[in-house]
A and B are shown apart, each in its own frame.
Chain A
Amino acid sequence: DAGITQSPRHKVTETGTPVTLRCHQTENHRYMYWYRQDPGHGLRLIHYSYGVKDTDKGEVSDGYSVSRSKTEDFLLTLESATSSQTSVYFCAISDPSSGGGLDTQYFGPGTRLTVL
């Protein structure tokens, strides 16, 4: 158990509204990630963070922003939600200091977001 929680777990919202998803971890892992999962695409990286206030874009970052003001929290914001952002969102953590360059990613339980 990597001590990762996501909130909310389910959300239904309307097109054009802002949405913020939260990822919380309890073990001071350095790296945090946001992915989205869609049928036929596996998981695709949206944004990641390599430390407090240090973030960068992933493969599918358009329409998303992130913030990390504390080690334990990584927020994903949809400024103006669209139907194409209906998806399951996963947060993940990793820690290169775990040794041997292993850097396995461990995932939170996911958030199912529906944009109507």
Chain B
Amino acid sequence: AQKITQTQPGMFVQEKEAVTLDCTYDTSDQSYGLFWYKQPSSGEMIFLIYQGSYDEQNATEGRYSLNFQKARKSANLVISASQLGDSAMYFCAMREGNYGQNFVFGPGTRLSVLP
């Protein structure tokens, strides 16, 4: 069974608008972490934002926020005021437990920002 599901293979958004990238996860662990990474066309993997399973507030980092709905097992990434430089692949990932190797990635969503 897929542990991380990203149902949107590709999305388009107009510049300066907000966009939500969906991520659902599956785990029976009580302690886990959720991550979003950005991969621009240049290929590097850039860490964007983290949410711990015990964090009561949604994580925010600048224009990025993580809409964490624990009961629904969803961890959607919200990008506010999209910029052309936001065009990239976005990967949701989960770490089961507190640290280490149990780190799985979703298949990714390709976001295209239109001028």
Contacts and interface: CB of A to CB of B under 8 A. Distances in A.
Interface of A: 31, 33, 40-45, 48, 50, 56, 58, 88, 90, 92, 94, 96, 100-107, 109-110
Q: Interface residues of B: mostly helix, strand, loop or mixed?
A: strand
Max chain B C-beta neighbours (<10 A), residue from A33, A48, A102: A102
Contacts of A107: 37, 44-45, 47
Interface of B: 4, 31, 33, 35, 37, 43-45, 47, 50, 52, 91, 93, 95, 98-101, 103-108
A94 to B, nearest CB: 7
Given A101-B33, A107-B45, A94 B99 contact: yes
Nearest to B52: A101
A31 B108 contact: no
Nearest to B31: A101
B51 to A, nearest CB: 11
B86 to A, nearest CB: 19
A102 B100 contact: no
Interface centre among B45, B52, B104, B108 (most CB of A within 10 A): B45
Given A42-B105, A42-B107, A103-B33, A96 B47 contact: no
Q: Is the interface of A mostly helix, strand, loop or mixed?
A: strand
Contacts of A101: 31, 33, 52, 98-99
A90 B45 contact: yes
Given A42-B91, A42-B106, A101-B52, A31 B100 contact: yes
Contacts of A102: 33, 50, 52
B105 A43 contact: yes
B99 to A, nearest CB: 4
A108 to B, nearest CB: 8
Q: Which residue of A42, A58, A101, A107 has the most chain B CB atoms within 10 A of its CB atom?
A: A42
A22 to B, nearest CB: 17
A48 B101 contact: yes
Contact of A43 (B31, B43, B91, B99): B91
